[in-house]
Amino acid sequence: MRIFDPHIHMTSRTTDDYEAMAKAGIVAIVEPAFWLGQPRTAVGSFVDYFNSLVGWERFRASQFGIRHFCTMGLNPKESNNPRLTDEVLALLPRYLDKDGVVAVGEIGFDDQTDAEQAAFTRQVELARDFNLPVLIHTPHRDKKQGTIRSIEVIRSVGFPEERVLIDHNNEETLPIVLASRCWAGHTIYPNTKMDELRMATLVQKYGSDRIIVNSAADWGISDPLKVPKTIAVMRAQGIPDATIEKIVWDNPVAFFAQSGRLDVSDIQAPAAVDRTQKFETNSVLRGEQVGKT
Amino acid sequence: MTPLPTSFLQSVVRARTSEAAAEWIEHAAAIDAVDAFCNAYTAVPKHAGRAPLALTESERADLVAWAPDLRCDRWTVDDAARAFLLLSAAQRLEPGAFVSLAIECYERGDAREQQSWLRAISLLPQADRFTAVTVDACRTNIVPLFEAIACENPYPARHFPERQFNQLVLKALFNSIALARIVGLSTRVNADLSRMARDYAAERTAAARPVPPDIAMAIIDDARQESAR
């Protein structure tokens, strides 16, 4: 089964991860811009990070036969830094028209402050101006309230709900999202958020319409193979392959294709991998002579 | 007579360091230049060491006299020496210069230096000037750093706005930190925090995960809610 992981922070992952992901059937990924675990203190750090998302990381993924897309945005946590917010938001239009940028995100709430709400709203407006979908991060703390407030922000801007993916849902928030016209993402983590069996139970209860799963693997305890592992558990629970395929391929592809920058026939074709290729004189090779695979 | 905080910290540090180390620390405390002060703040453990502070009975009595709700049980000697540096600078510098020095010192700090800084924050004069920094400190994913502001520290209950205080309590629950470690929690429980804690319990139950037994400390009971109206 072809797999699309619509939320994974590859900047924090190794080439071993890329190898294992390709072997497990992951052929396309979306890397949302987020925070790096350590707060950034200057706008230049964002410039370099955004450049790497459309540059080096995209190239690196290609060397393992994986199509890499990304979303661009100022994350909610760092929206609380008044010295940076305006400068970073002013940077975004530079990136929102680039190839491979398939949404504005991940944006939304963390502490649910006024500063977060302002940056969130401004970025939904930017998505509207650039005709891009929106990827929303829901908070760890006070998640239910944060989900309700996120939908309120979308509605206050008059942004089309079918172009919004609300992520990191759980049993309490999924019915709220499904009652809107937004899509519902689920992050399968080793210890927090959602696990494979709970996910299978949600699919049995709610079906597969607008349902998406991802690994959100990053610099914390996480697992880039969580989508294939969830497929295995859903199969073991008797969920039909057609339903599973809709969740791990059709839905994320349909959602991000709304950007107009995801060519469905292209990502379905096997990727040619040439590791002798270079990105600004760098390759993923370490001096070894490897031919085309 | 009760010693002033600065001289109290000075004598506490002196009692635990060599004469040469104490002199170095006292010299560092008199530095005005921002770079040199911050570098000295970094270098404190080389001189003061990192042993547990372990206050004596009489020192505890002195501390209670001017900082009744500060708990120093987890402090190390370098924490006390760094607190002494900051308090000395606060006494010596005019307020604006002190605030920028202190914030610079925090922002340049590694996780351990920031931990020392946060532990001492309630001792500084007009400590409410540092609310933005301390609220931001709660956004860290480094748990010992979060604990330095959230636990055994009277600062949040005294200075945090309600929403930020509530977020701190939820983050403690989320990180399996005992709520008993949050100083002054019982004086700050409120209806919104109660709602957030109940939602968190419901979310845990729906996920078939245990609900922390001390979550009740974050929930205002009905009788109190009634009398608060």
Which range marks the domain in which residue B48 is found? 1-125
Tens digits of residue pLDDT in B189-210: 999 999 999 999 999 999 999 9
Coil, helix or strand at residue B139 = coil
**DSSP label at A183?**
E
Do the Cβ atoms of B141 and A220 come within 8 Å?
yes
Question: Which pLDDT score is estimated for A292?
Answer: 47
Phi, then psi, of A110 in degrees rounded to 5: -120, -75
Rounded to two decimals, the ipTM of the complex is 0.86
Q: What is Dmax (Cα atoms) for chain B?
A: 60
Are B13 and B81 within 8 A, CB to CB?
A: yes
Distance between CA atoms of B101 and B34, rounded to whole angstroms? 6
Write the pLDDT tens digit of every residue in B130-179: 999 999 999 999 999 999 999 999 999 999 999 999 999 999 999 999 99
CATH superfamily, region A3-268: Metal-dependent hydrolases (3.20.20.140)
- Distance between CA A224 and CA A222 in Å, rounded? 7
Instruction: Please give the model's pTM, rounded to 2 decimal places.
Output: 0.91
Q: Which residues of B touch A144 (CB under 8 A)?
A: 199, 203
**What sign does the dihedral A29-A30-A36-A40 (CA atoms) show?**
positive
pLDDT in tens, A231-242: 999 999 999 999
pLDDT, residue A293, reads: 47
Q: Going by C-beta distance under 8 Å and a sequence separation of 6 or more, which residues neighbour residue B164?
A: A111, B135, B138, B156
Residue indicated by tokens 């924090």:
A12
- Rounded average pLDDT over B46-72: 94
Is residue B148 one of the residues assigned to a domain?
no
Name the pLDDT band for A96 (thresholds 50, 70, 90): very high
Please tell me the predicted confidence (pLDDT) of residue A124.
Answer: 98
CB contacts under 8 A, B 19-78 vs A, are none
In whole numbers, what is the pLDDT of chain B averaged over residues? 94
Strand partners, A87: none
Q: Read out DSSP for B6-66?
A: HHHHHHHHHTTS-HHHHHHHHHHTT--SHHHHHHHHHHHHHHH---B----HHHHHHHHHH
**Closest CA–CA distance from residue B106 to any residue of chain A (Å):** 13
Calpha distance A232→B54 (Å, rounded): 54
B15 inside domain: yes
CB A163 within 8 A of CB A134: yes
The Cα A273–Cα A221 span in angstroms is 30
**Candidate from B107, B163, B203 with C-beta closest to A170:** B203
| Spatial contact of A107 and A120, defined as CB atoms under 8 Å apart | yes
What's the pLDDT at B226?
A: 53
* Burial of residue B190, with CB atoms counted within 10 A of its CB: 0-12 exposed, 13-18 middle, 19 or more buried: middle
How many domains does chain B fold into? 1
Q: Is A172 in contact with B163 (Cβ distance < 8 A)?
A: no
Q: Edge-to-edge strand order for the sheet containing A211-214?
A: A3-5, A26-32, A67-72, A101-108, A134-137, A164-166, A183-187, A211-214
Specify whether the CB–CB gap between A24 and A2 falls below 8 A: no
Q: Does residue B204 lie within any of the structural domains?
A: no
Number of A:B CB contacts under 8 A?
50
Give A129's contacts (C-beta < 8 A, 6+ positions apart): none
- Specify if B220 maps to a domain: no
Whole-number Å distance between alpha carbons of A282 and A284: 7
Whether chain A has a CB inside 8 Å of the CB on B170: the answer is yes
B18's tokens: 């060599």
Domain ranges of chain A: 3-268
Residue A190 sits at the chain B interface (C-beta within 8 Å): no
First to last CA, chain B: 44
Whether pLDDT at B33 is above 70? yes
**Residues of B with CB below 8 A from A41's CB?**
107
Q: Residue B107 carries which side chain, given as an amino acid letter?
A: E
